[in-house]
Amino acid sequence: MSVLLAFTAASLFAIGTWLLLQRRLTRIVVGLGLIGHGTNILLITSGGEGGLPPVIGKGDAEDFADPLPQALALTAIVITFGVTAFLLAMAYRSWQLTHDDVVADDLEDRLIAANRRRDADVADAEAADLERESDSSGDES
């Protein structure tokens, strides 16, 4: 049973990651949901075998179930819900503005990347000039 749950969690992570890499916001939201479900399966599976409720005075301490994976799963559910609500609000706003849910390229990011490439080319050219100058001054002496 544990191998099946591990395979299910891995499949959810893989499909969710693939969906997160898409350009449509609806696919991103679904991918995030799948990753959240995979996380919950992984956390609950990590708790091991079930046991008695961890209430003091109701049994032996070795027979208690570990409450930490359950608490972490609840936390993951809340975080996933919050992020999903935020992404759905962004998708709705994007739909209102553009009537499409495709994430467009940011022109400012492209300009910054072009400036970095230009700056790197200039720095490489300056380094080559300095190297040529040092080589030519070394030949003269």
Under DSSP, the state recorded for 69 is H
Q: Are residues 49 and 67 in the same domain?
A: yes
The answer to whether 101 and 94 have CB atoms below 8 angstroms apart is: yes
Clarify whether residues 113 and 96 are in a common domain.
no
Same domain, 100 and 110: no
Show Cβ contacts of residue 80 under 8 Å, excluding neighbours closer than 6 positions: 32, 33, 35, 36, 39
Those residues with Cβ within 8 angstroms of residue 64's Cβ, 6 or more apart along the chain or in another chain: 51, 52, 53, 54
Tell whether pTM > 0.75: no
CA distance 17 to 34: 9
Q: Which domain holds residue 69?
A: 2-104
Q: Tens of pLDDT along the chain (141 residues)?
A: 689 999 999 999 999 999 999 888 889 999 999 999 999 999 888 887 777 777 777 777 777 878 888 899 999 999 999 999 999 998 898 889 888 888 777 788 788 888 888 888 888 888 888 888 877 776 555
